[in-house]
Amino acid sequence: MTQWLRGRGRAVTGVEYAGALSAIQWLESEVNDAWRDLDAVLTPTLAQPPAKVGALRDDADPAADFAAQIDYTPWTSVANLTGRPAISLPLVRAEVDGVELPIGVMLTGIRGRDADLLALAAALEAAHPWPLLPPGLSAS
């Protein structure tokens, strides 16, 4: 996939690159306007329950592999593109194929206010901690 991404990057013209930067700046402006009065935004981390290792990987088709990753993590792009701090917390639990798994929730904060986001995340984790041992096991 790295080779595929490198090839795609090398094929981008200067005009296309400038257009992409402009689109990112527009997105940042839109997000700033929409989230102006919010300290944090809560979204799912993933679009579906945790996948088994290698489930999204497609070495034969890097474009399909990349598209699957984008579809699997649609909410992370906003934080990545706008430079906002974000954190995923395993605050929800769900049984998937007979196994209790963490389901992440993502908090996205205000640019430059990472400490506020970390404080909020710590408070949420303290209020809703993930069990240290699976059900039925003891520390003895």
Q: Per residue in 36-87, pLDDT tens?
A: 999 999 999 999 888 888 888 888 999 998 998 899 999 999 999 999 999 9
Global pTM reads 0.81
Record the tokens describing residue 65, joined without a space: 């592999």
Work out the burial of residue 69: count CB atoms within 10 Å of its CB; fewer than 13 is exposed, 13-18 middle, 19 or more buried: middle
Closest of 107, 102, 111, 103 to residue 87, by C-alpha? 107
The residue with greater pLDDT, 54 or 121, is 121
CA angle, 116 then 31 then 77, to 5°: 80
User: What is the rounded distance in angstroms from the CA atom of residue 122 to the CA atom of residue 103?
Assistant: 17
- Average pLDDT of the residues in 12-35: 97
